[in-house]
Structure 1
Amino acid sequence: MPKVRTPVVARPTWPPQPPPDESDEARAERVAAEEEAKRVSDSIDRGIVAEREHRKKNPNAKILLLGQAESGKSTVLKNFQLHFSPKAFEAEAEIWRPIIHLNLVRSVNFILNFLASSLPGARDSASRQTLSDSLSGELRRLCIRLAPLREVEASLTKTISGAASFSPSDTPSYNPAKASEVAIRSTSGWRSMLKVRRQSNGFKNVQKTSDANRRTLAACAEDIISLWNDPIVQNVLWEREISLQEQPGFFLDEVTRVTHDSYVPTSSDILRARVTTIGPEEHHINVENNATGNAKEWIIYDVGGSRSQRAAWAQYFDDVNIIIFLAPMSSFNQVLAEDESVNRLTDSLKLWQMICSNKLLASVELILFLNKLDILDAKLKAGVLFSNYVKSYHGQPNETKPVARYLIEVFLALHQQNTPKKRRIHPHLTCAIDTKATSAIIDRIHETVIVKILSSSAIL
Structure 2
Amino acid sequence: MRAVRSDPEAAWPPPISPDETDEERDTRLEQEREAKRVSDAIDLALNAERESKKKSVHGAKILLLGQAESGKSTILKNMQLHFSPTAFHAEAELWRPVIHLNLVRSANFILNLLSPRSSGTTSPTSNLLLDDTVRRLIFSLAPLKSVETSLTKRISGSAGTIDNQYKSNSIDNPYAHYNPAKAPEIAVRSGAGWKGLLKFRRQSGAVSSPEDMQNRRIINACADDIVTLWRNPDVQEKLRQEEIYLKDQPGFFLEDVERITKEDYLPTPDDVLRARVSTIGPEEHRIPMESSLENGNGKDWIVYDVGGDRSQRAAWAQFFDTVTVIIFLAPVSAFNQALAEDETVNRLADSMKLWRMICTNKLLASVDLILLLNKIDILDAQLKAGVQFSKYVTSYRDKPNETEAVSKYLLDMFTALHKQHSPSKKRKMHPHLTCAIDTKATAVVITHIQELILIKTLSQTNIL
Shorter-chain TM range is 0.7 to 0.9
Structure 2 residues not aligned, in runs of 5+: 1-55, 168-176
SS state at 1:443 partner: helix
Shift of 1:199: 2.4
Aligned to 2:380: 377
Farther off after superposition, 182-191 or 263-272: 182-191
SS at match of 1:397: coil
Of 328, 340, 345 in structure 2, the residue corresponding to residue 342 of structure 1 is 345
1:180 Cα deviation from its structure 2 partner: 4.8
1:150 corresponds in structure 2 to: 145
- Which residues in structure 2 correspond to 1:280-299 (within 5 Å)? 280-296=282-298, 297-299=300-302
Q: Which amino acid aligns with 1:457?
A: T
Closer/same/farther in 2, CA of residues 74 and 121 from structure 1, 3 Å limit: closer
Query: Which residue number in structure 1 is paired with residue 196 of structure 2?
Result: 192
- Residue aligning to 2:154: 159
Structure 1 residues 122, 336: closer, same or farther in 2, change over 3 A? closer
The SS at the match of 2:191 is helix
Matching of residue 435 in structure 1 with residue 430 in structure 2: no
Deviations 1:396-445 (A, max 9, x none): 11111100010000000011110001121100000000000000110111
Which of structure 1's runs of 4+ aligned residues deviate more than 6 A?
Answer: 118-125
Amino acid at match of 1:288: E
Confirm whether residue 408 of structure 1 aligns to residue 411 of structure 2.
yes
| Partners of 2:381 and 2:117 in 1: CA distance | 27
> 2:187 touches 2:280 (CA, 8 Å); kept in 1?
yes
Whether 1:181 and 2:185 are equivalent positions in the alignment is yes
Partner of residue 100, structure 2: 101
Specify whether residues 193 and 59 from structure 1 end up closer, same or farther in structure 2 by C-alpha distance, changes over 3 A only.
closer
Distance in 1, matches of 2:190 and 2:67, equals: 17
User: Structure 1 stretches of 5 or more lacking a match?
Assistant: 1-54
Q: Distance in 2 between matches of 1:354 and 1:287?
A: 32
- What secondary structure is seen at the aligned counterpart in 1 of 2:291? helix
Q: Is the 8 A contact 2:121 2:180 kept in 1?
A: no
Equivalence for 1:19: none
1:343–1:198 distance in 2 versus 1, CA, 3 Å:
same
CA 1:185–1:117: 2 relative to 1, 3 Å: farther
Give SS of 2:209's match: helix
Are the aligned partners of 1:114 and 1:174 in contact in 2 as well (CA < 8 Å)?
no
Q: Secondary structure at the match of 1:367?
A: strand
- Work out whether residues 182 and 246 of structure 2, in 8 Å CA contact, stay in contact via their aligned partners in 1: no
Larger Rg: 1
Q: 2:395 aligns with which of 387, 392, 405?
A: 392
1:329 paired residue number: 332
Q: Distance in 1 between matches of 2:181 and 2:71?
A: 13
Q: 1:171: how far off?
A: 4.1
Residues 102 and 252 of structure 2 are in contact (CA less than 8 Å); yes or no, is this contact kept in structure 1? yes
Asked whether the 8 Å contact 1:81–1:89 carries over to 2, the reply is yes
TM-score by length of 2: 0.82
1:188 is paired with a residue of what secondary structure? coil
Distance apart, 1:123 and its partner CA? 7.6
What is the alpha-carbon distance in structure 2 between the residues aligned to residue 457 and residue 118 of structure 1?
Answer: 64
In the alignment, is the contact (CA less than 8 A) between 1:180 and 1:248 conserved in 2? no
Aligned to 1:141: 136
State the shift of 1:361 in Å.
0.2
Helix, strand or coil for the counterpart of 2:145?
helix
Tell me the CA shift for residue 137 of structure 1: 1.7
Alpha-carbon separation, structure 1, partners of 2:308 and 2:190: 14
TM-score, structure 1 as length reference: 0.83
In structure 1, C-alpha distance between the alignment counterparts of 2:241 and 2:209, rounded to whole Å = 41
On the 8 A contact 1:75/1:432 being kept in 2, the answer is yes
Q: Report the counterpart of residue 323 of structure 2 in structure 1.
A: 320
2-side partners of 1:310 and 1:367: how far apart? Answer: 19
- Go from structure 1 to structure 2 and tell me whether the alpha carbon gap of 1:210 and 1:121 turns closer, same or farther (over 3 Å shift): closer
**Secondary structure, counterpart of 1:356 in structure 2:** helix
Q: Percent identity?
A: 60
> What is the aligned partner in structure 2 of residue 257 from structure 1?
259
User: What letter corresponds to residue 207 of structure 1 in structure 2?
Assistant: S
Find the residue that maps to 2:115 and give its secondary structure: helix
Task: Output the CA distance in 2 between the equivalents of 1:91 and 1:124.
Answer: 46
Give the secondary-structure state (helix, strand or coil) at the position aligned to 1:412.
helix
Q: Amino acid of the residue matched to residue 114 of structure 2?
A: L
**Pairs aligned (count):** 399
Structural RMSD (CA): 2.2
Q: Mapping of 1:238-253 within 5 angstroms?
A: 238-253=240-255
